[in-house]
Amino acid sequence: MLWLVGAFFFHTLGELCLSPIGLSLVTKLAPLRLASLMMGAWFGFNAIANYVAGLIGSHVGELGAMAIFGGIAITAVICGVILLMFANTLVKWMHGAEQGAPSNAEQVEEQQAQLV
């Protein structure tokens, strides 16, 4: 039973790490007129991924839990290495979106300072 608890734990931890960052980058990188469409695409691809996870999970009885979860772990490690290799290129493509823009409060303070 511990493998099941561990699987849910790592699944939840991964989602808690990925979802806020992904949603933030979608809103930062999408053009304003397409931001809603891109948010819908984000959730649409999450739905497709959950469907594929169900298909993969249906094969646990045939292949065994260790084969399925081992394959998922190997795939995750390979994807992580690929992302690390292309990290600098991805940052260049973001054109400064990863740096925090000033908040509305900071903008108001700047405008008030300019008036004085």
pLDDT tens-digit profile, the chain (116 residues)? 888 899 889 889 988 988 888 888 888 888 889 989 999 999 999 999 989 989 988 888 888 888 888 998 999 999 999 999 998 888 888 877 766 655 555 666 677 777 76
Nearest to 43 by CA among 27, 29, 16, 23: 23
Question: How far is the C-alpha of 99 from the C-alpha of 6, rounded, in Å?
Answer: 34
Write down the pLDDT at residue 65: 81
Longest Cα pair distance anywhere in the chain, in angstroms?
Answer: 73
Write down the pLDDT at residue 104: 55
Write down the pLDDT at residue 100: 60
CB 23 within 8 A of CB 32: no
Write down the pLDDT at residue 105: 56
